[in-house]
Amino acid sequence: MSVNFDFLLSHVVHHLFGFNIMAVDGAVETVEMKEITPSGDATTPEGPPAKVAKIDKGGYKTIEVNKNNAKLFEYYRKQPVIPPGEFDAFIDTLRIGLPSSFRVQLSLPEAAQVDRHLREAFFSKIPEIQDDQVSVPISIPFVPYGYQGNMPRSVMRSHPLLKNLHEFLVNETEIGVISRQEAVSMVPPLLLDVKPDQFILDMCAAPGSKTMQLIELMHRGCPKPTGLLVANDIDYERCYLLVHQTLKRYPTANCVVVNQDASQMPSMVDKALNPILFDRVLCDVICTGDGTFRKNLELWKDWTPQKGMALHRIQVQIAKRGLEMLKPGGRMVYSTCSLNPIEDEAIVAQLLRHFDGKVRLVDVSAELPELKRSPGISTWKVIDKAMTEYANFEGIEDPQKKGIVASMFPPTAEEAARFGLDRTFRILPHAQNSGGFFIAVLEKVEAFATDKEARRQPYNPHNKKQRRRRMVREDPFTFLSPEDYADVRADIEEHYGVSSDFPYDNLLVRSADTDKKKCIYFVNDVLRDFMKYNNVLRFRVVNAGVPVLRRVDKVSTSKYRLMQDGLPTMSPFVVKRIINVNTADAIKVLEGTKDNHYVGLDELADPAPFKALSCGSVLMRVEEGGFRKDICLWLGAQTVTAFITREEKIHCLTMMGHDPVKLKRTVVTSRQAKGTGIFKQDITAGAKEVPTATSEDAVVPKVSEDTASI
Ligand SMILES: C[S@@+](CC[C@H](N)C(=O)[O-])C[C@H]1O[C@@H](n2cnc3c(N)ncnc32)[C@H](O)[C@@H]1O
């Protein structure tokens, strides 16, 4: 298994900083996109010939993009998707850059505080900057704590306030407090009506922006959801991306990442080995992405009608399987970032046709009322790559028939009246200065005959994809038996006072050898059952659970230290080694006085509670101005250090009203370095195991007498 390092790195960096990375002759180079808007207008779309020029510019390469595509313009002029009077506005909008958008994580206890900080520390001061290119980010009306802004990067770099805002956003994104995501891409999860106790399947999940939203929605008002989220993607490399961009930022005990072909998804079974049917399914399928012309500039030269046709069949198959795996009464959202009816209404029509009355379209026109949308259509044109139009399937002769299927054609008048495709909708880029999207909300109104049949995935040694997937050896997820965890239990009960009702049966390790217990993970009850009854032979599990304990081999009171990612799980059970720290000391510990890592106990205003404890893991409880957080510390003989990432320290200090200036850096953050380092290791190590590093592992402690014992 070789992991494409450049691909992963480019994703991480593009996502965080907005510029691209490109591999040239095996080297990784930064590339800055320069856009050329052609003089030709939408009615006479013939602009200059497409060209890609590369010009060195202070370490950057500049790519010129010709924003013309005659076939695209002709195709969408023929489809009743864009009202004729709006066509020029549509094309003009496609040709300008997409505003960047982000949202504060809704389920975070300090979400309102982060939002207030954004407004007070940055947005309220932006109007003081005298520059036409500078504007205050505006609220996205349909997304709580969501904003979108449009300032060139050069401007963001040139004003200290904007630079600080940019740094704040990068820092908070790094730790999952803020998610950068296209505004319209936030809509599908919002229409799923997610609850904490539901079983949710995200069929095509990578790189995970909607998975992140689903996790947030499950945690809204519920720190420990009892439901299950299965995030799946067919692409193993992209599953890694999902783990790093989502689960490392929002570690959760109820999410599992699996690597399957969604169109052939084997049934997942419960304790009684009956197929699990999901309350909610998100079917955000692979698509041509022609709603993303504003940010995916390479689409301008690549787009042809053929691409949508080529994806139609797999889109139908994935969506069908999604409905089969849905509970009667459950909701499935089908979405694409394409405006093409062949990928949109045609798929929905085929589902309604195939499941004949057992599935219906939900009218969501009253949900998210501020979202501007255009109702779905019931008639459209089937046009091939030669731009030939076909009136119906029956009239097509060979060889044109190749690549065209009956389900691409619009429904008959009788079907159209039954289907009500106007309940689906499109978000057009020019309606609210966004990307384009298509969304259909479906409800399974009646059980299918197949609901109780567990579909197995037969192993076919001649199927290259399957064979390749099997060759990647995952370290097994092994649950600890009472004998295995007896020593852990005795240790943490004694040292942390962990109460006896802690669910020890939910602990697992990533090794066949339970004696190894280096890092111990925790899953909630439903995920434990899922893992137990859906073993890796049939299901490729890539990641599951949160790390809660890590073994310390040297001097420490306990053999296990607490891990920050697992604190929401552990801290309700912990009663010992908790210190309520005054604000001044908490700031000192977070800032560190020795190379920003350690503080000497004698430098603290109140060292007594620390000195009263022996070396090892300590839980610092901070409470300041409405911000409350438990933070893992490592206590040495004479010093103490916060065992969290620099980004998390900056976040805590900011929330405590303290300027984290001492900790600020403008270079690639430690987690990014760690993340990309891990990807690189994966390549050399043959991607043997899913990286298990947690946020706190990104701390780079300097050697001292205290760290020597860690
Ligand atoms: C539009 S992207 C999904 C974006 C994602 N939902 C998000 O919000 O970040 C489509 C994904 O579908 C995956 N995919 C393509 N074919 C698939 C299949 N047959 N089964 C499962 N996933 C598939 C691709 O690897 C890709 O990651």
Asked if residue 204 belongs to a known ligand binding site, the reply is yes
Has 284 been labeled as part of a binding site? yes
d(CA 668, CA 665) in angstroms, rounded, equals 8
Rounded to the nearest angstrom, the distance between the alpha carbon of 347 and the centre of ligand 1 is: 16
Residues enclosing ligand 1, CB less than 6 A?
A: 185, 204-210, 232-235, 238, 261-263, 284, 286, 314, 318
Residue 362's Cβ-side half-sphere holds a number of Cα atoms within 13 Å equal to 19
The separation between CA 257 and the C-alpha centre of its own chain, rounded to angstroms, equals 12
Spacing, Cα 286 to ligand 1 middle (Å):
5
- Say how many Å lie between the CA of residue 206 and the centre of ligand 1: 6
Tokens of 520: 């111990």
pLDDT value for 487: 93
Report pLDDT for 47: 42
Atom of ligand 1 nearest to the CA of 242: 9
What confidence score (pLDDT) does residue 516 get?
72
Distance 395 CA to ligand 1 centre (A): 34
Question: Which two structure tokens, joined as six digits, stand for 231?
Answer: 């995030």
Supply the DSSP symbol for 566. G
Ligand 1 midpoint to CA 586 (Å): 43
What's the pLDDT score for residue 131?
Answer: 87
- For ligand 1, the distance from its centroid to the CA atom of residue 635, given in whole angstroms, is 44
Q: Specify the residue with its C-alpha closest to ligand 1, atom 1.
A: 286
Between the two ends of the chain, the Cα-to-Cα distance in Å is: 34
Residue 208 assigned ligand-binding role: yes
Strand partners, 23: 28
Find out whether 233 is annotated in a ligand binding site: yes
Is the confidence metric ipTM above 0.90 for this complex? Answer: yes
Q: Whose CA is nearest to atom 27 of ligand 1?
A: 206
Report the SS3 class of residue 434.
Answer: coil
pLDDT computed for residue 27 by the predictor: 25
CA of 125 to the centre of ligand 1 (A): 40
What separation in Å is there between the alpha carbon of 285 and the centre of ligand 1?
A: 6
**Residue 127, SS3?**
helix
- Let me know: does 228 contact 211? Beta carbons within 8 Å: no
Q: What is the pLDDT of residue 446?
A: 97
Q: Classify strands 228-232 and 326-336 as parallel, antiparallel or unpaired.
A: unpaired
Pick from 4, 216, 233, 336 the residue to mutate for probing ligand 1's pocket: most ligand atoms within 8 Å of its CB: 233
- pLDDT means per 10 residues, the chain with 710 residues, are 35 34 27 45 40 46 82 96 96 94 95 97 94 93 94 82 93 96 97 98 97 97 96 95 93 95 93 93 97 93 94 98 98 98 98 98 98 98 94 84 92 98 98 97 97 71 55 76 95 95 95 82 96 79 94 83 94 96 96 84 97 96 93 95 95 96 64 42 30 28 24
Residue-wise DSSP of 259-294: ---GGGPPPPB-TTSPBP-EEEEEEE-----TT-TT
CB-CB contact of 253 with 546 (8 Å): yes
Phi/psi region, residue 465 (left: phi>0; alpha: psi -120 to 50; beta: rest), is alpha
Give bridge partners of residue 437 from the DSSP assignment: 427
Q: At what angle do helices 345-354 and 305-324 cross, to 10 degrees?
A: 40
Tell me the residue type at 572.
Answer: P
**pLDDT in the model for residue 690:** 24
Q: Say which residues have a Cβ less than 8 Å from residue 298's Cβ, sequence separation at least 6.
A: 65
Contact between 326 and 277 (Cβ < 8 Å): yes
Give the mutation target among 184, 204, 337 for probing the ligand 1 site: most ligand atoms within 8 A of CB: 204
Closest atom of ligand 1 to 286 CA is 10
State how far the Cα of 442 lies from the Cα of 336, in Å rounded to an integer: 14
Active site residue 337: yes
Q: Which of 287, 337, 632, 652 is catalytic?
A: 337
Can you tell me which residue has the tokens 């503080």? Answer: 599
Atom of ligand 1 nearest to the CA of 263: 19
Q: What pLDDT does 126 receive?
A: 95
pLDDT on residue 517: 79
Q: Which atom of ligand 1 is nearest to the CA of 314?
A: 19
Relative to the CA of 265, which ligand 1 atom is closest?
20
Residue 623 CB coordination number (10 Å): 14
Tell which atom from ligand 1 comes closest to the C-alpha of 317: 19
Q: 205 CA distance to ligand 1 centroid (A)?
A: 5
Which residue from 286, 315, 320, 438 has its CB within 8 A of the most atoms of ligand 1, so it is best to mutate? 286
Cβ atoms of residues 469 and 236 within 8 Å: yes
Per-residue pLDDT, 466: 54
**Ligand 1 probe mutation, 234, 307, 311, most atoms within 8 A of CB:** 234
| Ligand 1 centroid – CA 234 distance (Å) | 7
Query: For residue 513, how far is the Cα from the chain centroid?
Result: 32
Q: Confirm whether residue 210 is marked as ligand binding.
A: yes
207 among the known binding-site residues? yes
